[in-house]
Amino acid sequence: MKARSPAEVALSLGVLALGIGVAAGTSMLPSEGGYAGIGPNFVPGVVGAGLVLLGGWLTYEALAGGWRGAPPDDPAERGEHAFHLPSFAWISIGLFAHMALIGTGGFVVAGVALFACVARGFGSARPVRDIAIALVLSLSVFVFFVKLLNVGLPAGWLAPLLGAAGI
Amino acid sequence: MEALDALLHGFGIALQPMNLLWGFIGVTLGTFIGVLPGVGPALTVAMLLPLTVKLDPTGALIMFAGIYYGAMFGGSTTTILLNTPGESASIATALEGNKMAKAGRAGPALATSAIGSFVAGTIATVLLTLVAPLVVDLALKFGPAEYFSLMVFAFITVSAVLGSSTVRGLTSLFLGLFLGIIGIDSQTGQARFAFGVPELLDGVDVVVLAVGLFAVGEALYVAAYQSRLTETMERMSGSIMMSAEDWKRSWPAWLRATAIGFPFGTIPAGGSEIPTFLSYAIEKKLSKHPEEFGNGAIEGVAGPEAANNAAATGVLVPLLTLGIPTSATAAILLGAFQNYGLQPGPLLFQSQTDLVWGLIASLYIGNIILLILNLPLIGIWVKVLSIPRDLLYAGILVFATLGAYSLHQSWVDLLTLYVFGLLGFAMRRWDIPVGPAVIGLILGPLAETQFRRALSISQGDATVFFTQPISATFLAITAALIVLPWVMRRFRRG
């Protein structure tokens, strides 16, 4: 018995841990259920038990030759290139920058940051072009949502500018 | 005929100028976004869900039906020209359609796909019109026990029976069920697994899960494993006209595929994947030119595309009449209903006649608009395909985050979105299906409600699920689906 892929083992144990977590959380929920005889803790208990069983089953498969029918670990066999960390990181940075900026900088600023980072992650080498396109896109979406749909979006740092433009 | 009266009434609603406009906007937006590579119908519907917050339910749902159909049509264009199927149901089309495009026959491939989708969609909508009232009559006899057993049946078929691995399908389902528990318990008001975070008390929104899995997960995956590959797009050259020979070979395939697709759509068999492959196999078997299969046989595009659309319409039968989503896209559509406090099911046919029949009538109109949008205007959609991938994914993520943020105007939903993105990345990489998770999230809380209601009525007696005949039948079929394949394997082996 040799594990084919450490990642599969880790994911399997993750499912198992989640199941144990759900079961532990369930034990803190009340069980009184009126006429039905079951309370709000019954279904969480079933789901927790299910996740524990599935986690165990996945772990068994991962240790006994690997998950059945899973894609090959070698990216070339999948017709793909090796995991490219900078790309993955740029997209994550973009999403976190967006999270951090949307409350303060506003929708347009956060959108531009996200757009530029994601484009960079996909190999764009033209940040000025990306920012220009992002500005046009975010501004149009902002105007469309705020003016036409009456959905509030934060104006943030651009509030004085947008206000002066009548938006 | 009762159904005909209801349908005529529905046309009266759907043809009102505003509803017609919403339908038109829906199919156009659906086609536009569905054409984008890597964006399937499920993500299209999920990304556009926040648009509807301020619309009236009838207009909004007519728009969503249009988006649903449009995304299906748009997806075929991408599959044929780029060979990157946006969803599993397009894989069969990709086999032949892309080969046809490579051979300079992109036009007829797109035409047979668009006309076939129209024919299948229209016939399937007629069937929906006829079948829905019958199912509604039956469903009115259902109590909580019957609904619960039916939902269990749906859970098992979409997760355990289909797909490459039973255990991974079930894991995805249980993840969805767990996410469905988070929030306030509808029966007792007890908070569950919310950890005191106000955003979680509302429960996990289907938009955040679907957009996280489909958009953020997909972007992370493609960036990590495919962003340094070069893509080739087939040119749209020549006429889109089909020759007499093309017609002769296409129309029997459309009709056969409709006959396969619609019934498969109505049962909980995970949407369009099985019927498209089945149609492909049947066309290959019946064709007078079997040698062309694998090299661009027109039947191999006509059949699967028609089957896909017929199944997509068939999915609306259990969704509208029973409130049971049988595909990820249908689960998100159910989320759209829930946003308006509407629960699809037999009672909706009685309480919201205008909405339901207006929606069904709009499907007929949507099919016609889509035929016009996809044949003469095909050139526009082909241009959409040439958007560079870096800008494409950047744009998709701007809309994805907008959808999540507009729920509570809170960054917490954006963090949840990123976590689901990581989950989607892992699920894509290790081949864990995402559909069961989305269905589990939406259907899980409904199943729990029915389960507890059934037990309340029976005073806690759990045998009620086995003693009511309809409920027992559903559970028996479910058990057979699990046990039979296992028994047959044993039998064959020994």
Residue B344: predicted pLDDT: 93
Split at pLDDT 50, 70, 90, the class of A161 is: confident
Q: Which residues, 6 or more positions from A22, have their beta carbon under 8 angstroms from its beta carbon?
A: A44, A47, A48, A51, B178, B193
> pLDDT tens for residues B38-77?
788 888 888 888 777 777 889 889 998 999 999 888 888 8
Q: Which of residues 23-62 of B touch A (CB under 8 A)?
A: 50-51, 53-54
Cα–Cα dist B408/A150, whole Å: 15
CA distance B452 to B459: 10
> Bigger pLDDT: B18 or B494?
B18
Q: Is the pLDDT of residue A122 over 70?
A: yes
pLDDT tens for residues B99-113? 888 888 888 899 999
Report chain B residues whose CB lies below 8 A from the CB of A69: 164-165, 431
Nearest to B192 among A29, A38, A87 (CB): A29
Asked if the Cβ–Cβ distance from A122 to B216 is below 8 Å, we say no
**Confidence check: pLDDT of B153 > 50:** yes
CB contact under 8 A, A58 and B178: no
**pLDDT for res B494:** 56
Q: Which amino acid is at B377?
A: L
Task: Enumerate residues 6+ apart whose C-beta is below 8 A from B27.
Answer: B66, B67, B69, B70, B73, B366, B369, B370, B373
pLDDT at A1: 44
- In the three-class reduction of DSSP (H, G, I as helix; E, B as strand; rest coil), residue A46 is classed as helix
B29, B54, B168, B406, best to mutate vs chain A, most A CBs in 10 Å: B168
What pTM does this model have? 0.91
- Residue found under tokens 């009838």: B58
Residues 190-229 of B with CB under 8 A from A: 190, 192-193, 216, 219-220, 222-229
Does the CB of B9 have a partner CB in chain A at under 8 Å? no
- DSSP structure string for A81-145: PPP-HHHHHHHHHHHHHHHHHHTTT-HHHHHHHHHHHHHHHTT---HHHHHHHHHHHHHHHHHII
Tell me what pLDDT residue B21 has.
Answer: 93
How many other C-beta atoms lie within 10 A of the C-beta of residue A43? Answer: 24
pLDDT at B211 over 50: yes
What's the whole-number average pLDDT of chain A? 89
CA distances from B283 to B91, B97, B251, B275, B301 (A): 15, 14, 12, 12, 10
pLDDT above 60 for B125: yes
Comparing B162 with B305, which gets the higher pLDDT?
B305
Tell me: pLDDT of B314 over 70.
Answer: yes
Lookup result for tokens 């668009």: B114
pLDDT at B429: 93
pLDDT mean over B329-355: 90
ipTM of the complex: 0.94
How much is the pLDDT for A167?
66
Identify the pLDDT of residue A148. Answer: 78
User: What's the mean pLDDT when you consider all of chain B?
Assistant: 88
**B485, pLDDT greater than 80:** no
Inspect the interface and report whether the beta carbons of B51 and A8 lie closer than 8 Å: no
Among the partner residues A7, A37, A98, nearest to B460 by beta-carbon distance: A37
Closest-CA distance, A72 to chain B, in angstroms, reads: 9
Instruction: List chain B residues with CB under 8 Å of A75.
Output: 225
Residues B423-482 pLDDT 10s: 999 999 999 989 899 999 999 999 999 999 999 888 888 888 998 899 999 999 988 888
Distance from CA of A158 to the nearest CA of B (A): 18
Q: To which H or E segment does residue A44 belong?
A: helix A42-63
pLDDT digits (tens, 9 = 90+) for B377-427: 888 888 888 888 899 999 999 999 998 898 888 899 999 999 999 999 999
